């Protein structure tokens, strides 16, 4: 019962924005985690590269209509023709199901390429028990994928410029720098995961990556807007440092970030699980996978990357350096007062007439002091004998 109550109370504090997690204090930990993922991705890019789809590298695509032909059967049919590494996927389901085979034949001459295309078409038709005329053949050149890539890069450059101008005008230039660093972080992590995992990069992947950049910035702008409010309420009046205000802002919008991320990720998981794996719509897999990775990374970067970078940039300004020094000095002064109060705690004032009796009972060292305060322990150990002596003298 206690654990359940504590958990409920913890969720209540989270959704009321009352948590006090030290995000800024563990900046090195967050940067180390992201750095490891990015470095592994860069190493994988240098060694393996990206698994580009046929739209980028060019090649030949066969589509066989069949409700019974499996991926393994299709691979066995084309392996004798040197296409064991071809990409084979199942599209659709039921009566509209097709098996798609993609292979790179760019190294062959035109005559060799034509002969192999016809031979593979006949092999797939035989394995699927259909007429060879029902096997559709598409020859894709790499120029289309190159055009998509160049347009995506152009769009990305304009995107960066527009966001830098907007955030600089809406907030300030250092917030724009932090937001753009977080966006670059999301791109590097997404590309690195695609390289490490070997997921295929298609035009749908490029579109999804461009889509997630807007979501990442949305979450970051929400945090920065709360930072702007807290700066006016606490930092400018000298109660908190800039890092403290950023940390408070992240805690206050943490529930909102979690809610928006979960609400956005659940439909994407539905697309991946239901659409791609249950219904066989593998084209949705390329789009949904990039969205899932990007949204998760974007939610992470807005809290653990953009906010610490903003705090680090602002703390280097002279006014915030002075503010931190003043707050630190005030805290040290308060701690010193507390320590001084703790030393005098437990002491009580003693009347002047009782000082001589206390000095007689406590010994020479007790009578030599001029202070009117003595500890409670000395009263308990020294005043009782003297009181006994007084009672005896009175009886006499």
- The Cα–Cα gap between 261 and 183 comes to 16
pLDDT at 36 over 90: yes
- The Cα–Cα gap between 42 and 36 comes to 10
Strand (E) or helix (H) holding 222: helix 203-230
pLDDT at 354 over 50: no
Contact 45, 195 (CB under 8 A): yes
Grade residue 387 by pLDDT with cuts at 50, 70 and 90.
very low
The radius of gyration computed from the CA coordinates of the chain, to the nearest angstrom, equals 36
Distance set, CA 122 to CA 53, 78, 112, 326, 349 (Å)? 24, 10, 16, 82, 109
Grade residue 182 by pLDDT with cuts at 50, 70 and 90.
very high
pLDDT at 24 over 80: yes
> 386-390: long-range contacts at Cβ-Cβ below 8 A with a sequence spacing of 24 or more?
386/357, 386/358, 386/360, 386/361, 387/357, 389/361, 390/357
Report pLDDT for 235.
Answer: 65
Task: Say what the alpha-carbon torsion angle 274, 275, 277, 283 is, to the nearest 10 degrees.
Answer: -160
**Stretch among 31-40, 136-145, 324-333 having the lowest mean pLDDT:** 136-145
Report pLDDT for 107.
Answer: 77
pLDDT at 145 over 70: no
**pTM score, two decimals?**
0.71
**Region 13-30 average pLDDT:** 79
Q: Which residues pair with 373 in a beta bridge?
A: 349
| 305-341 pLDDT tens trace | 999 999 999 998 888 888 888 888 877 777 777 777 6
Averaged pLDDT of the chain: 77
Got the DSSP string for 302-355?
IIIIIHHHHHHHHHTSHHHHHHHHHHHHHHHHHHHHHHHHHHHTTEEE--GGGH
Sign of CA dihedral 149, 151, 157, 159: negative
- The Cα–Cα gap between 55 and 194 comes to 17
| 190-229 pLDDT tens trace | 999 999 988 888 877 888 888 778 888 888 898 999 998 8
Terminal Cα distance for the chain, rounded: 69
More confident: 33 or 372: 33
Grade residue 395 by pLDDT with cuts at 50, 70 and 90.
very low
**Region 8-37 average pLDDT:** 79
Structure tokens at 7: 């958990």
Structure tokens at 359: 């000095």
Report pLDDT for 257.
Answer: 83
Percent of the chain surpassing pLDDT 70: 75
pLDDT at 371 over 50: no
Residues 6+ apart with CB under 8 A from 253: 17, 222, 223, 226
Report pLDDT for 313.
Answer: 93
Taking alpha carbons only, the member of 83, 160, 152 closest to residue 120 is 83
pLDDT at 179 over 90: yes
**Region 96-112 average pLDDT:** 82
DSSP 290: H
Report pLDDT for 369.
Answer: 44
Grade residue 236 by pLDDT with cuts at 50, 70 and 90.
low
Got the DSSP string for 202-213?
-HHHHHHHHHHH
Domains of the chain: 18-51+144-324 (1.20.1640.10), 59-140 (3.30.70.260)
Percent of the chain surpassing pLDDT 90: 16
- The Cα–Cα gap between 212 and 188 comes to 13
More confident: 268 or 357: 268
Grade residue 237 by pLDDT with cuts at 50, 70 and 90.
low
pLDDT at 50 over 90: no
Report pLDDT for 363.
Answer: 44
């Amino acid at each position: 019962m206690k654990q359940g109550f504590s958990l409920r109370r913890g969720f209540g504090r989270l959704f009321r924005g009352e948590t006090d997690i030290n995000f800024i204090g563990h900046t090195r930990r967050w940067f180390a985690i992201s750095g490891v993922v990015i470095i592994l991705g860069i190493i994988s890019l240098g060694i393996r590269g990206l698994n580009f789809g046929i739209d980028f590298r060019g090649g030949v695509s066969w589509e066989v209509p069949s409700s019974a032909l499996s991926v393994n059967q299709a691979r066995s049919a084309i392996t004798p023709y040197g296409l064991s590494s071809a990409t084979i996927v199942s599209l659709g389901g039921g009566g509209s199901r097709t098996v798609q085979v993609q292979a790179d034949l760019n190294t062959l001459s035109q005559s060799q390429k034509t002969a192999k295309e016809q031979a593979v078409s006949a092999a797939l038709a035989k394995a699927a028990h259909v007429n060879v005329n029902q096997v559709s053949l598409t020859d894709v050149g790499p120029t289309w994928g190159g055009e998509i890539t160049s347009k995506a890069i152009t769009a990305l450059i304009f995107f960066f410029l527009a966001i830098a101008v907007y955030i600089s005008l809406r907030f300030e230039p250092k917030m724009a720098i932090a937001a753009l660093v977080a966006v670059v972080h999301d791109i590097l992590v997404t590309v690195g995961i695609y390289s490490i995992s070997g997921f295929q990069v298609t035009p749908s992947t490029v579109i999804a990556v461009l889509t997630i950049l807007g979501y990442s910035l949305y979450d970051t702008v929400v945090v920065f807007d709360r930072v702007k409010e807290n700066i006016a309420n606490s930092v400018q009046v000298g109660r908190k440092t800039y890092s403290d205000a950023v940390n408070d802002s992240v805690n206050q919008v943490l529930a909102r970030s979690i809610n928006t991320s979960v609400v956005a990720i659940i439909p994407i998981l539905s697309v991946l699980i239901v659409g791609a794996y249950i219904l066989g719509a593998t084209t949705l897999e390329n789009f949904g996978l990039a969205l899932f990775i990007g949204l998760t990374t974007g939610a992470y970067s807005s809290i653990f990357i953009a906010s610490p970078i903003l705090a680090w940039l602002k703390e280097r300004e002279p006014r915030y350096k002075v503010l931190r020094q003043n707050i630190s000095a005030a805290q040290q002064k308060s701690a010193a007062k507390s320590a001084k109060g703790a030393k005098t705690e437990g002491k009580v004032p003693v009347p002047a007439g009782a000082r001589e009796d206390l000095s007689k009972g406590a010994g020479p060292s007790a009578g030599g002091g001029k202070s009117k305060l003595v500890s409670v322990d000395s009263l308990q150990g020294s005043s009782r004998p003297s009181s006994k002596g007084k009672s005896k003298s009175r009886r006499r």
